[in-house]
């Protein structure tokens, strides 16, 4: 018996030693690792297939673009192209930097650029086509590429599409390119993919051939969490260095924590109450909403500052106009006399004056001809934490001015269908714009109305104006930036005064990072933007480790110890069980 026990103890000790030594061996000269926590797995590593924020962040790291966007204000800056020139605003000649290489050592030439632009146009890649649809590129020599636009395009010379390595992707483009898993890890940006565990994490390693030079961080690990509290706990315990999308209810508590910085980053995204204007699209919207007086009354019934405080906890910005870009330069100042601020008395008065009176005394106004009450169908999303509090506030305020509502809740697909078919009066949803304002502006043109259910347009307010369309066409070809900004301001002011959308507030990304590991976090745009998951995320190459803080896995020996202890503990329990069983047996035998 004694010998057995001795052997077991020895085995446990040996096992413990193995664990501790293996754990120690892996922490030799650990790479400087930035670990980012987020709540969204990457959908696809392939830029012709994915569409989630996590994927854009990864492509931004792996694939450099011809031109970059400045951290401060998104101004166009040299990137793979060191310079460019154009005589007529249609033909641009870009000169690439000298000696560019892909991360696998192959030369990066004008041929890669031309191939990417032309193939993405021909195959209509989802993330490229909006930029390259009218472009034709020709490689003049290794470092010179000529890009011709068939129409004047104010986005040029900005060329912010991911340039893909032809030597990897050409073969894929012969078939259905969107099915390629793209785990090759070859790129030209600051970091390239080294591994991915679906549902868990993916790792990007510093690219020694990045044109700015190898970043100071050796690798970036993205860690997927499915529980927000667990993610915040991991930040506090130092398991991760950065958190994207801190749950709103944990944000305030986290900002009081020492050694952790929290921030809100605006990206132009917003939430709106939309009204069905019935301007030519499908549907059966309430006739009252075609009357500007009613739309203004609704806007004046809503106490936006209170809603912003109670629903968004004042995270974000209280802006009343459409967000068309993360760059605040595009946001106009609405003249004070045109602002539709909270004023329920005025709202009631104007409804009264326009003939919307409560004739039957039930507290709800009727149409001037008495045909039907002002009872609006109100549609909302089921997957948003904000939907319920927004609904409670808005429907309450509308009731105060004599407007009734009937609430329906949908998932995103159903709500898209309801909107496309125009079978709604009001709905609450949101948008997030691109850097260039054109796409967001285009959604409210007459051409985007849904007139055929088989071909759904983006114009979800069923609103359309020839004046807006004319301005839209002007800005689309205006190459003078200052003039274009002025046109866009006019468009947004018009859209605001038409009150087809009541923009409730502009939301913000909630982020947090530890201060003991890295410094050099860069906000984009400056002061108001986030530090990672921005448009181009310059932080990845501006971050530097703090001495003594950002070593590798400095707790791995500790980990080994714990495993050793755990194994020992299990063995101990086993031994106890063994003795208990043995004494029982002896007892039984005595019985």
Partner 1 sequence: MRARFVIGKIIGAISTIAFVVVFDFFLFRVVNDDPVNSMFRGRNLTPEQLERLRVKFNLDGTKWEQFVAYVRQLLHGDLGYSLKSSRPVSEVIAEAIWPTLLLVGTSTLLAMIGIFIGYRAGWRRGSSFDATATSVSMVTYAMPEYWIGMVALGVFAAGLGWFPVGGLNDPGSTATGVARLFDQLHHMILPAMVLAIAYIGEYMIVARSAMIDTSREDYLQLARAKGLRDTEVRKRHAQPNALLPVVSLSAINFGFVLSGAIAVESIFSWPGIGQQTQFAISGPDFPMLQGLFLLISAAVILANLVADLLYGYLDPRVAGR
Sheet holding 91-96, edge to edge: 81-86, 91-96, 144-149, 135-141
Q: Which is nearer to partner 1, 237 or 338 (CB)?
A: 237
| Positions 420 through 449 that interact with partner 1 (CB under 8 A) | 420, 431-432, 434, 439, 442-443
Q: Which is nearer to partner 1, 78 or 552 (CB)?
A: 552
In the complex, least distance from residue 419 CB atom to partner 1, rounded to whole angstroms: 9
**Apex 493 CA angle, 489 and 495, nearest 5:** 115
In the complex, least distance from residue 458 CB atom to partner 1, rounded to whole angstroms: 7
| Positions 105 through 124 that interact with partner 1 (CB under 8 A) | 124
Q: Which is nearer to partner 1, 78 or 280 (CB)?
A: 280
Collapse the DSSP code of 563 into the 3-class scheme (helix H, G, I; strand E, B; otherwise coil) and give the result: helix
Q: Which is nearer to partner 1, 22 or 372 (CB)?
A: 22
In the complex, least distance from residue 374 CB atom to partner 1, rounded to whole angstroms: 29
Residue 534 bridge partners (DSSP): none
Site string for partner 1, 515-554 (x = CB under 8 A): --------------------------------------x-
Q: Which is nearer to partner 1, 1 or 198 (CB)?
A: 198
Kindly state the DSSP code that residue 331 receives in the 8-state scheme.
Answer: P
In the complex, least distance from residue 574 CB atom to partner 1, rounded to whole angstroms: 13
Site string for partner 1, 295-324 (x = CB under 8 A): ------------------------------
- Check if the beta carbon of residue 146 is closer than 8 Å to that of residue 118: no
In the complex, least distance from residue 71 CB atom to partner 1, rounded to whole angstroms: 24
- Candidates 515, 576, 587, 472; CA nearest to 5 is 576
Q: Which is nearer to partner 1, 356 or 518 (CB)?
A: 518
- Check if the beta carbon of residue 234 is closer than 8 Å to that of residue 37: yes
In the complex, least distance from residue 416 CB atom to partner 1, rounded to whole angstroms: 4
Question: Stretches 76-84, 102-110, 405-413, 514-522: which one binds partner 1 (CB under 8 A)?
Answer: 405-413
Q: Which is nearer to partner 1, 281 or 373 (CB)?
A: 281
**Residues binding partner 1: what is the number (CB under 8 A)?**
73
| Positions 329 through 388 that interact with partner 1 (CB under 8 A) | 383
In the complex, least distance from residue 553 CB atom to partner 1, rounded to whole angstroms: 7
In the complex, least distance from residue 12 CB atom to partner 1, rounded to whole angstroms: 14
- The first and second tokens of residue 548, run together, are 């003594």
Q: Which is nearer to partner 1, 28 or 548 (CB)?
A: 28
Instruction: Say whether residue 476 binds partner 1 (CB under 8 A).
Output: no
In the complex, least distance from residue 573 CB atom to partner 1, rounded to whole angstroms: 12
| Positions 559 through 578 that interact with partner 1 (CB under 8 A) | 559, 562-563, 566
Q: Rounded distance, CA 523 to CA 532, Å? A: 8
Q: Rounded distance, CA 162 to CA 177, Å? A: 15
Interacting residue with partner 1 among 458, 486, 490, 494 (CB under 8 A): 458
Q: Which is nearer to partner 1, 19 or 114 (CB)?
A: 19
- The first and second tokens of residue 221, run together, are 């690990």
Q: For the stretch 287-308, what's the b/e string if a residue is b when 16 or more beta carbons lie within 10 angstroms of its beta carbon?
A: ebbbbebbbbbbbbbbbbeebb
- The first and second tokens of residue 568, run together, are 């020992």
In the complex, least distance from residue 127 CB atom to partner 1, rounded to whole angstroms: 8
Q: Rounded distance, CA 161 to CA 129, Å? A: 9
Alpha-carbon distances, residue 244 vs 57, 369, 533 (angstroms): 12, 53, 8
Residue 33 bridge partners (DSSP): 219
Q: Which is nearer to partner 1, 164 or 299 (CB)?
A: 164
Helix (H) / strand (E) containing 417: helix 412-420
Helix (H) / strand (E) containing 503: strand 501-514
- Those residues whose C-beta lies under 8 Å from the C-beta of residue 570, and which sit 6 or more positions away, are none
Q: Which is nearer to partner 1, 303 or 327 (CB)?
A: 327
SS3 content of the chain, % helix, strand, coil (to 5): 35, 20, 45
Q: Rounded distance, CA 533 to CA 510, Å? A: 11
Instruction: Say whether residue 456 binds partner 1 (CB under 8 A).
Output: yes
Site string for partner 1, 18-57 (x = CB under 8 A): xx--xx-xx------x-x-----x-xx-x--xxxx-----
Question: Stretches 343-351, 532-540, 541-549, 557-565: which one binds partner 1 (CB under 8 A)?
Answer: 557-565
| Positions 195 through 254 that interact with partner 1 (CB under 8 A) | 197-201, 203, 219, 221, 223-227, 229-231, 233-234, 236-237, 239-240
How many contiguous H segments (helices) and E segments (strands) does the chain have?
Answer: 17, 18
- Check if the beta carbon of residue 500 is closer than 8 Å to that of residue 275: yes
Q: Which is nearer to partner 1, 181 or 253 (CB)?
A: 181
Question: Stretches 61-69, 126-134, 280-288, 301-309: which one binds partner 1 (CB under 8 A)?
Answer: 126-134
Q: Which is nearer to partner 1, 81 or 177 (CB)?
A: 177
Question: E-strand spans in 383-441?
Answer: 404-410, 426-431
In the complex, least distance from residue 202 CB atom to partner 1, rounded to whole angstroms: 9
Long-range contacts of 15-21 (CB under 8 A, 24+ apart): 15/564, 15/567, 16/563, 16/564, 16/565, 16/567, 16/568, 17/564, 19/560, 19/563, 19/564, 19/567, 20/557, 20/560, 20/561, 20/563, 20/564, 21/560
Instruction: Say whether residue 413 binds partner 1 (CB under 8 A).
Output: yes
* Alpha carbon 129 to chain centroid, angstroms: 20
Helix (H) / strand (E) containing 444: none
Which is it for strands 219-224 and 33-38: parallel, antiparallel or unpaired?
parallel
Q: Tokens 């004047």 label which residue?
A: 152
Interacting residue with partner 1 among 17, 83, 372, 412 (CB under 8 A): 412
Q: Which is nearer to partner 1, 139 or 419 (CB)?
A: 419
Interacting residue with partner 1 among 9, 75, 130, 216 (CB under 8 A): 130
- Check if the beta carbon of residue 80 is closer than 8 Å to that of residue 113: yes
- Check if the beta carbon of residue 526 is closer than 8 Å to that of residue 71: yes
Q: Which is nearer to partner 1, 127 or 188 (CB)?
A: 127
Interacting residue with partner 1 among 118, 138, 178, 497 (CB under 8 A): 178
Q: Tokens 């194994």 label which residue?
A: 567
């Amino acid at each position: 018996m004694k010998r057995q026990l001795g052997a077991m103890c020895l085995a446990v000790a040996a096992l413990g030693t193995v664990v501790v030594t293996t754990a120690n061996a892996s922490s030799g000269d650990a790479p400087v690792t930035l670990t980012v926590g987020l709540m969204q797995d990457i959908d696809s590593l392939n830029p012709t297939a994915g569409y989630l924020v996590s994927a854009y962040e990864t492509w931004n790291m792996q694939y450099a673009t011809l031109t970059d966007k400045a951290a401060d204000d998104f101004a166009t800056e040299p990137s793979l192209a060191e310079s460019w020139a154009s005589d007529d605003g249609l033909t641009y000649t870009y000169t690439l930097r000298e000696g560019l290489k892909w991360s696998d050592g192959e030369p990066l030439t004008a041929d890669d650029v031309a191939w990417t632009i032309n193939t993405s146009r021909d195959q209509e890649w989802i993330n490229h086509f909006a930029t390259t649809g009218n472009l034709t590129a020709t490689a003049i020599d290794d470092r010179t590429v000529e890009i011709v636009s068939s129409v004047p395009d104010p986005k040029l010379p900005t060329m912010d599409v991911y340039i893909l390595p032809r030597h990897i992707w050409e073969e894929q483009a012969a078939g259905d390119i969107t099915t390629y898993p793209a785990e090759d890890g070859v790129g030209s940006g600051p970091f390239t993919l080294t591994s991915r565990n679906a549902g868990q994490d993916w790792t990007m390693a510093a690219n020694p051939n990045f044109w700015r030079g190898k970043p100071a961080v050796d690798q970036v690990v993205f860690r997927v969490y499915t529980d927000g509290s667990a993610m915040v706990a991991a930040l506090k315990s130092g398991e991760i260095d950065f958190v994207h999308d801190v749950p709103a209810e944990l944000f305030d508590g986290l900002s009081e924590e020492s050694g952790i910085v929290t921030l809100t980053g605006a990206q132009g995204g917003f939430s709106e109450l939309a009204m069905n204007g019935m301007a030519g699209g499908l549907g059966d919207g309430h006739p009252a909403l075609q009357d500007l007086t009613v739309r203004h009354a609704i806007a004046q019934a809503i106490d936006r500052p209170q809603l912003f405080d109670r629903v968004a906890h004042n995270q974000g910005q209280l802006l009343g106009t459409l967000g068309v870009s993360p760059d605040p330069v595009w946001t106009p100042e609405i003249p004070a006399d045109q602002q539709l601020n909270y004023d329920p008395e005025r709202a009631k008065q104007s409804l009264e004056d326009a003939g919307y009176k409560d004739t039957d005394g039930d507290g709800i106004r009727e149409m001037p001809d008495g045909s039907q009450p002002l009872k609006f169908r109100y549609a909302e999303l089921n997957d948003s934490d904000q939907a319920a509090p927004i609904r409670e506030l808005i429907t309450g305020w509308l009731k105060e001015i004599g407007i009734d509502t009937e609430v329906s809740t949908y998932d995103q697909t159903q709500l898209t269908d309801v909107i496309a078919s125009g079978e709604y009066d009001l709905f609450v949803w949101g948008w997030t714009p691109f850097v260039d304002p054109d796409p967001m502006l285009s959604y409210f043109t007459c051409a985007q109305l849904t007139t055929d259910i088989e071909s759904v347009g983006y114009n979800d307010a069923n609103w359309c104006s020839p004046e807006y369309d004319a301005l839209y066409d002007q800005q689309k070809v205006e190459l003078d930036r200052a003039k274009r900004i002025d046109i866009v301001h006019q468009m947004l002011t018009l859209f605001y005064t038409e009150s087809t959308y009541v923009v409730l507030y502009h939301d913000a990304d909630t982020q947090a990072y530890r201060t003991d590991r890295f410094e050099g976090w860069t906000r984009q745009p400056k002061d108001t933007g986030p530090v990672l998951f921005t448009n181009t995320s310059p932080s990845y190459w501006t971050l530097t480790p703090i001495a003594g803080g950002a070593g590798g896995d400095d707790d791995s020996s500790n980990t080994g110890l714990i495993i050793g202890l755990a194994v020992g503990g299990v063995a101990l329990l086993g031994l106890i069980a063994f003795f208990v069983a043995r004494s029982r047996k002896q007892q039984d035998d005595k019985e």
